[in-house]
Structure 1
Amino acid sequence: MLEEYSVADVLLSDGRYRPPSTRVARYQIIIASTLGLFALMVFSLLRIKYPKIYVANLNHTNFNYLHSSSRRHLPKIPAKSLFGWIPIVYKINESQVLEHAGLDAVVFLGFFKMCIKILTVCLIFAIVVISPIRYKFTGRLDQDYPDDDDDNNGTTIKMIKRIILLGTEIPTEGEGATYKAYLWTYTIFTYVFTLVTAYFLFSQTNKIINMRQKYLGGQNSITDRTVKVSGIPAFLRDEVTLTRHIEGLGIGEIDSVLIVREWQNLNKLCKLRNRVLRKLEQYWIEYFHQNGIMNKSQILSASFQPQPTATLGLENGYRDEEGGEDATPTSSNEEDRQSQASTLMDQISEIIEDANHPSLGLVDEAVSRPKINKGLFGIFGAKVDAINYYAEQLEVIDKEIVRARTREYPATSTAFLTMKSVAQAQMLAQAVLDPKVNHLITSLAPAPHDIRWDNLCLTRKERNTRIFTVTMAIGLVSILMIYPVRFLASFLNIKSISKIWPSLGNALRKSKWATTLITGLLPTYVFTIFNIIIPFFYVWISGKQGFTSHSDEELASVAKNFFYIFVNLFLVFTTFGTASLSDTTKIAYELAQSLRDLSLFYVDFIILQGLGIFPFKLLLLGNLIRFPIESLFWCKTPRDYLALYKPPVFNFGLQLPQPILIFIITLVYSVMSSKILSAGLIYFIIGYFVSKYQLLYACVHPPHSTGKVWPLAFRRIILGLLIFQLTMAGALALQEAFTCATFLAPLPILTLYFLWNFQYQYIPLSMFIALRAIENQEVSPDNDLENNGGDNNNKTLDERRELNTKYEYPNLVRDLDGPLIAIDGQDVLTINKDGQTVRKFQDFSEWYS
């Protein structure tokens, strides 16, 4: 039981209150480890019991989903082994990640690997050199508060330290010149850690660029040959005129042109059609259920029949049934399943086609058909047959869509030009085509599946309005969030708590347990909650800003979320934690003190994130919670269940900003605290493994940015280096080691040179493909339409994704199928406007791409 203690036990000589001791870190390790082990065990059990939720390509809908079909040849994971997935994931190398998850996944995981290398080197230096030197001169291993020896086990720790240092006596901090002498170690290792970080940073950059050039240079997909042109003047907004103008510049030959038009009205019609179609499908399923023809689970069962591995080409041996099996089914079982599904489809078809009236389905008076009220909210008005009502609405909408597709729409200033070769597209994308500002601006086109067509059709005025509105909203939220963060920072020490809540402050002075809980553990958990909730807002609002591609939207969300957590949850949190703004002469001193006093808070925070929170990400809690809720209350049709089983998306905007911030925090404290270095290293090791599993087996990453997230990470690490150097200079100056601090002056200049060098030498290779890297390939114009299975095995992930795709507005070409009432593999059963069933092959990837 923790004993009580008095004010004198926690009051420092300068009147400040000592923050919680290292015992908090031990409590945090215990709590976080318990949470992490619990999450790991639960995940391992749920993965076996519900593989359809935790394997991105298990059932045939996920298997054929555009962004998860590449997972079919991943190394086999034992279906019934509790922890058998761990060594399998560990052994997967970088080339396999590139093949199955794409370049973006390699870049993301490469960031974690780079951080592990940097922190490992820094930790070795800290343990072998910095901490022993600091201890020899100060009697402390780390320069933070509280002291390393301030807990009940201080005597034992001191004995261990003496053994490590061969019996050296523990000095005091008041030894004058000898105490200051060791500060040269800070200067030296600020240089060392800066150079170590820069070395691995540029090494990883070169690796990514070489991989990117080789990977993209060997492709010849439609995306690699297409350029987006914006700022097209009015007299060029015609396919023929634009083609002649561009080809007249002598850059290359154009294969096809798509000028984006103002298709908003057509888009509204299609959205209305989707709502009506879903209603119609709901009432068809309700109709079957009411008449005992089939219950909902039978109607939908064809979607979830166990799929044989031989048919699906799976190597991992999963079967789409609870518990899963690791063995390939026998041919007789396969035939039974196919026969069962076919019988189901045939039964439904016969029931409908044998009806008395083809347009009404079953019209026997004894047959119960769903009814609705035509009036407001479905409550008022006359009762009508629901199926007939929505079928008639669907027919009217379809006729209107057919007419709308033939209309001429005003052209926008954006177009997609597909060139004959990749080299021509690369040259065109980097060329300055027009002497006028904002005219004929070229850039590499996003992949067809990556385009946000709704936003692309917006006029310039509409897009600018969205940008302005979102920017204002982000600024307002960022300002408002300062207040809860400042309030949270007040709970870091008893002195701040006493100002806003005197009775609580008095109670905390009397209880170690309460002090540990309130000032040591509580802030880290509240801080974590902020980090989990707020980023979703920035991802959501980025989607409203009008970006023309999902990849641009994702990169913007990375930038927004990092700005939020860096400013609000790092700078503001640190500033208001201990800084007194009433006396401007003490601001620098208080800020330096706050960084030192907050060191154990950040230890606790990083431990919680690494040991406790990262394993919980394996559970995909959002998907796990959504699954039973939607299956009970939302999923009423086969189409709903297809959406339910869509793999969760791995969003860089949610997953990347916090690791960058934690790396910066670890770097800032690298010279002063080996505890934070150790916690940061553990964080990135666990984070790398969890992210690797999710990117390969559990989630998909639809955006197609070809590794362009790396420049964002690079620039923010450079920012971290600058903060690290300024922090070290301030810490040295406040200890009156002015000469040591002065010798750090060249470091920010050197760091800015690193940034300049990256911007001018590396950015072009991070955005474009060098002409020498492009392989000479004889490609026919119909290359993207070929669909040869043997050739597909040699294609990259991006080429397989973009097979049979072209740049065209989906709502102009999408089939206007009737209500979907049953699924068998990739065959779907729909009802046309005449009441007849139609069985056809359906590529489900186009529904959710």
Structure 2
Amino acid sequence: MNLFGDDGHRDKDKCLGDNYVGPQTKDTQVQLVISLTLGLSALLTFCTLRPRWKSLYAARKRPSDPTFGLPVLPDSFFGWMPALYKITDQQVLASAGLDAYVFLAFFKMSMKLFAVMFFFATVVLEPINRRFVPDSSPDTGSPQSLLFRNYATYRSYEHTRLFGDSEPPEKDPDNSFNRNMGYLWSYLVFTYLFTYLTLHFMDRETRKVLSVRQDYLGTQSTITDRTFRLARIPTELRTEESIKQLVEKLEIGKVESVTLCRNWTELDRLMEQRQTILAKLEEAWSVYLAHRPLVAADEPNGDHGGPDAADEEAGENDRLLRGPRARSGGRSRPQTRFWYGFLRLQSRKTDAIDYYTEKLRQLDEKILAARKKQYEPVDLAFVTMDSVAACQMAIQALIDPHPGRLLTNPAPAPSDIVWKNTYASLLSRRIRSWGVTIFVAVLSIVWLVPVAFLASVLSICTINNVFPSFGSWLKEHEIARALVQTGLPTAVVSLLNLAVPYLYDYLSNHQGMLSQGDVALSNVSKNFFFTFFNIFLIFTVFGAVTSIFDVLRNSLKDTTYIAYTLARKIEELSVFYTNFIMLQGLGLFPFRLLDFGSVALYPINRMGAKTPRDFALLVQPPRFYYGFYLPTALLVFILCLVYSALPNGSLVLALGLAYFSLGYYTHKYQLIYAMDQPQHATGGAWRMICYRIMLGLVVFQLTMSGYLALRKAFTVALLVAPLFVGTVWYGWEFRKRMEPLTRFISLRSIKRSEFEGGEEGEGSGVILDGDEEEDLGRARRELLRRGSTVDEEREKGLRFVNPSLVVPLEQPWIHQDPPPPLVEADVSDGQTTPTSGWRRDGPGPGSQTPQQSQGTSREGSNASSVVSLGDTHIWRE
């Protein structure tokens, strides 16, 4: 009997399923060379460019701001490494915020966990494997492997039993009590030990994260901390006064303000149109000024003087239909074509600057008129209380006896709100949410086809069938074969991990969520589902698209089938996943430190930049999105767990330790010095991390049970079941005890006046450092205030109001310094752009530098730095 049974009918299909990705053990050496070459080249390039490109690699560092106390990294080649290592968790939290602290806490916990597991796997388990376990590496795909022989026998037995071709064979003897197979009990022991260590480290880190989160949020008093979201408001209560009276009758505190969301569709659309016109006007001016002669002609009246002054009295349509402007001072003004008339079938060219200036003036008048209108209220409001305690009591209580009415939830930060979704109906948001969810589920199945196709195309087996001569050449050249069979599959999977998150980020932004923090968490969930389902399951349980239905059908007839299949494929693909972790950690993390994407795109963006606003955006710090980095780290964590107790598990654990060590310091540098975080989820990613760690434990236990059953140690395999029950029970307890503290602030943690003597909202708690409870208590008693947290700095001067109602209208940014925002009098007088904003020799008397404008706007309305720097992501949503 051959590997697949007596008939051997599967030999002709040997390129399907099992042989899609099959690198050999020797290929790991080639992958190591590739990874080290990529990683070291990127690291050396970063060390060379870092002191030269500080606008990119130190974009967040503010040397003049002593609040955060961050060290100035030396400009020496490797001098930045010790300085980065010495930065404490307290400084991370103070400079990057709670979300960054939680993200890095996962990497730090993984480092500690896998260091301990690596010690036990190397000192205890590896000698047992070397002494007792026969060589089971699938180097040639031949039936010499004990694992494959057992599985081939199992498949033959199952075929006859399920399909009735012959009588089922006699029951296999249980090797659990075979003295020659006694080493199998060590796998059971280490399954229990590694499960305990994982839960222990996760539980301890969870308690630390919760303690830090409670102290961090409990000792600050931002407007977000004092505001809750009130949803499902009945029609009779949809006024600010009614909501205020309702909440104050609960006797939990005084209401400072109520923001009742209304249907601002018209206003928001006008603001979006204004941004489009403003960008076109700035581009037209940049084209016009770029062709300025060396010696400008004498123009005493300026570009808007002369005969055109009489046009101020003309109608709006006359201004828009004006013909081309004559040459002025030797410069030809840019032209634009617009369509008008019946069904917009007529068109003509006109002066672009005049046309967009007039369009902008008309929109400004419409916006000012729209801001004075009254809009229909919706069933959502933001209620700001006079204290954090009052707000938390409202959030954690049931307000109304009727189900589904007056629901309270924590409010997102004002700059984090997606305002266009606040006035969308509940039905429309649910339809969008379920639509995106169903689309992602269908898309995950569709992904199986290209992923499996790419994996099959890159396999040696397929190459031999399609290109026999090339396959023969690869067999003769071992290094080239290793590059094709090892480097290309792992590179394809890594590229998918880089590309797919952009699609899921787009879908998450159109799911109807109320805040960017919720969008970020949703993006983490979607991308993890892709990496776990498509990258993990397709290469393990299913193997190929054609075998999915066979696996599902057989698993319904035999519940142990998936465990057998998972265990067999996990060991078969050990080299592939080892190479995948190696490439992700040693090869790609230095490229993330280099920020290769920003470096590669900078010349393109630089060539495409035309206006001063475009150039200002070029020097803004890149954005750090957790949904792009966390899912892959979670997959690597699960892979390290799954392989930890298997043969060669010490190698996987060593690579996992290297992955999380490099990842910790890479992301630490990015979050502190180089990149900004647009979301504010108050550490909500930690509960998602914990649930996915528990999912990894279930997969680990299922794999070990199947691995032991393949060796006919059925009793030992059955004894893994209590671990599964214990993990599920821990998850249930985690949901009841831990998860509420990741969403709310406990009343005992609110210590606003205990640590500060100044005005409310000016100070905040400091970050706790230390691993033990007594260290946390001592740090809490020795709490040292640094003035304010990064969250308080972000929210200073903000209000819960739609920015479209209050944001100052921007003038065109034409020269180096941004102009001041428009005032209502300028628009009403018909002067869309004050003269000072149009001077050629510099800014006008009222203009500001970007730093000055940013500070002014932050102290003012909800615009923050949006007005001066043109970063419209806050209010365009």
What TM-score do the two structures reach when normalised by structure 1?
0.81
| Equivalent of residue 791 in structure 2, options 785, 795, 798 | 798
Q: Distance in 1 between matches of 2:33 and 2:84?
A: 26
Residue 102 of structure 1 is matched in structure 2 by: 97
Q: After TM superposition, list the pairs within 5 Å mapping 1:108-257 onto structure 2.
A: 108-138=103-133, 144-146=137-139, 177-257=178-258
The answer to whether the 8 Å contact 1:262/1:410 transfers is yes
Given the alignment of the two structures, is residue 726 of structure 1 paired with residue 746 of structure 2, yes or no? no
Q: Distance in 2 between matches of 1:367 and 1:785?
A: 56
The count of corresponding residues between Structure 1 and Structure 2 is 748
Q: Distance in 2 between matches of 1:690 and 1:713?
A: 19
Given the alignment of the two structures, is residue 428 of structure 1 paired with residue 429 of structure 2, yes or no? no
The answer to whether the 8 Å contact 1:45/1:82 transfers is yes
Secondary structure of the corresponding residue to residue 738 of structure 2 = helix
Return the letter of the residue paired with 2:577.
Y
Identity between Structure 1 and Structure 2 (%): 38
Secondary structure of the corresponding residue to residue 350 of structure 2 = strand
Residue 597 of structure 1 is matched in structure 2 by: 572
| Equivalent of residue 377 in structure 2, options 411, 424, 431 | 411
Q: Shift in Å at residue 501 of structure 1?
A: 7.5
The answer to whether the 8 Å contact 1:784/1:802 transfers is no
| Equivalent of residue 77 in structure 1, options 50, 68, 73 | 73
Q: Distance in 2 between matches of 1:350 and 1:824?
A: 23
Deviation digits for residues 416-459 of structure 1 (CA, Å, limit 9, x no counterpart)? 00001000000101111112222111001001111111222322
The answer to whether the 8 Å contact 1:491/1:523 transfers is no
The answer to whether the 8 Å contact 1:276/1:390 transfers is yes
Secondary structure of the corresponding residue to residue 439 of structure 1 = coil
Secondary structure of the corresponding residue to residue 822 of structure 1 = coil
Deviation digits for residues 690-718 of structure 1 (CA, Å, limit 9, x no counterpart)? 11111111111121111110000000000
Q: Distance in 2 between matches of 1:399 and 1:70?
A: 44
Residue 165 of structure 2 is matched in structure 1 by: none
Residue 447 of structure 1 is matched in structure 2 by: 413
Q: Shift in Å at residue 489 of structure 1?
A: 4.2
Q: Shift in Å at residue 282 of structure 1?
A: 2.2
Q: Shift in Å at residue 39 of structure 1?
A: 0.7
Q: Taking structure 1 as reference, are residues 525 and 363 closer, same or farther at Cα in structure 2, changes over 3 Å only? A: closer
Q: Taking structure 1 as reference, are residues 514 and 823 closer, same or farther at Cα in structure 2, changes over 3 Å only? A: closer
Q: Shift in Å at residue 488 of structure 1?
A: 3.7
Residue 642 of structure 2 is matched in structure 1 by: 668
Residue 750 of structure 2 is matched in structure 1 by: 774
Q: Distance in 2 between matches of 1:404 and 1:643?
A: 30
Residue 370 of structure 1 is matched in structure 2 by: 333
Q: Distance in 2 between matches of 1:130 and 1:280?
A: 70
Q: Distance in 1 between matches of 2:33 and 2:525?
A: 34
Residue 4 of structure 1 is matched in structure 2 by: none
Given the alignment of the two structures, is residue 647 of structure 1 paired with residue 610 of structure 2, yes or no? no
Secondary structure of the corresponding residue to residue 383 of structure 2 = strand
Return the letter of the residue paired with 1:671.
A
The answer to whether the 8 Å contact 1:821/1:829 transfers is no
The answer to whether the 8 Å contact 1:485/1:573 transfers is no
Q: Distance in 2 between matches of 1:47 and 1:98?
A: 24
Residue 28 of structure 2 is matched in structure 1 by: 25
Residue 817 of structure 1 is matched in structure 2 by: 810
Secondary structure of the corresponding residue to residue 543 of structure 2 = helix
Residue 620 of structure 1 is matched in structure 2 by: 595
Q: Distance in 2 between matches of 1:24 and 1:744?
A: 33
Q: Shift in Å at residue 287 of structure 1?
A: 3.0
Q: Taking structure 1 as reference, are residues 71 and 473 closer, same or farther at Cα in structure 2, changes over 3 Å only? A: farther
Q: Distance in 1 between matches of 2:295 and 2:670?
A: 37
Q: Distance in 2 between matches of 1:461 and 1:618?
A: 43
Q: Taking structure 1 as reference, are residues 348 and 599 closer, same or farther at Cα in structure 2, changes over 3 Å only? A: farther
Residue 522 of structure 1 is matched in structure 2 by: 488
Secondary structure of the corresponding residue to residue 265 of structure 1 = helix
Residue 146 of structure 2 is matched in structure 1 by: none
Q: After TM superposition, list the pairs within 5 Å mapping 1:823-842 onto structure 2.
A: 823-824=816-817, 833=832, 835-837=834-836, 838=844, 839-841=846-848, 842=853
Q: Distance in 2 between matches of 1:438 and 1:348?
A: 71
Deviation digits for residues 154-205 of structure 1 (CA, Å, limit 9, x no counterpart)? xxxxxxxxxxxxxxxxxxxx99945411111000010000000011000000
Q: Shift in Å at residue 513 of structure 1?
A: 4.4
Higher mean displacement: 26-35 or 375-384: 375-384
| Equivalent of residue 703 in structure 1, options 652, 663, 679 | 679
The answer to whether the 8 Å contact 2:248/2:255 transfers is yes
The answer to whether the 8 Å contact 1:784/1:804 transfers is no
Residue 361 of structure 2 is matched in structure 1 by: 395
Q: After TM superposition, list the pairs within 5 Å mapping 1:86-97 onto structure 2.
A: 86-97=81-92
Residue 670 of structure 2 is matched in structure 1 by: 694
Q: Distance in 2 between matches of 1:98 and 1:269?
A: 39
What TM-score do the two structures reach when normalised by structure 2?
0.79
| Equivalent of residue 484 in structure 1, options 446, 450, 453 | 450
Residue 40 of structure 1 is matched in structure 2 by: 43
Q: Distance in 2 between matches of 1:294 and 1:258?
A: 55
Given the alignment of the two structures, is residue 715 of structure 1 paired with residue 710 of structure 2, yes or no? no
Return the letter of the residue paired with 1:474.
V
Q: Taking structure 1 as reference, are residues 294 and 446 closer, same or farther at Cα in structure 2, changes over 3 Å only? A: farther
The answer to whether the 8 Å contact 1:239/1:259 transfers is yes
Q: Distance in 1 between matches of 2:422 and 2:176?
A: 69
Return the letter of the residue paired with 1:601.
F
Runs of at least 5 residues in structure 2 that lack an aligned partner in the other structure: 1-10, 144-174, 313-324, 765-783, 837-843, 855-863
Q: Distance in 2 between matches of 1:446 and 1:386?
A: 41
Q: Taking structure 1 as reference, are residues 733 and 757 closer, same or farther at Cα in structure 2, changes over 3 Å only? A: same
Given the alignment of the two structures, is residue 536 of structure 1 paired with residue 491 of structure 2, yes or no? no
Deviation digits for residues 617-662 of structure 1 (CA, Å, limit 9, x no counterpart)? 12223322332212212x2221222222221111010010010011
Q: After TM superposition, list the pairs within 5 Å mapping 1:746-761 onto structure 2.
A: 746-761=722-737
The answer to whether the 8 Å contact 2:811/2:821 transfers is no
Q: After TM superposition, list the pairs within 5 Å mapping 1:288-327 onto structure 2.
A: 288-292=289-293
Return the letter of the residue paired with 2:635.
L
The answer to whether the 8 Å contact 1:373/1:381 transfers is no
Residue 280 of structure 2 is matched in structure 1 by: 279
Return the letter of the residue paired with 1:802.
E
Higher mean displacement: 727-736 or 362-371: 362-371
Return the letter of the residue paired with 1:370.
R
Deviation digits for residues 3-47 of structure 1 (CA, Å, limit 9, x no counterpart)? xxxxxxxx9xx9998954322111111110000011112222222
Higher mean displacement: 384-393 or 226-235: 384-393
Secondary structure of the corresponding residue to residue 821 of structure 1 = coil
Q: Shift in Å at residue 827 of structure 1?
A: 7.2
Residue 329 of structure 1 is matched in structure 2 by: none
Q: Shift in Å at residue 93 of structure 1?
A: 1.0
Q: Distance in 1 between matches of 2:538 and 2:327?
A: 71
Q: Shift in Å at residue 689 of structure 1?
A: 1.0
Q: Distance in 2 between matches of 1:251 and 1:828?
A: 41
Secondary structure of the corresponding residue to residue 486 of structure 1 = helix
Secondary structure of the corresponding residue to residue 75 of structure 1 = coil
The answer to whether the 8 Å contact 1:580/1:590 transfers is no
Higher mean displacement: 585-594 or 113-122: 585-594
Q: Distance in 2 between matches of 1:287 and 1:137?
A: 80
Runs of at least 5 residues in structure 1 that lack an aligned partner in the other structure: 1-10, 151-173, 296-346
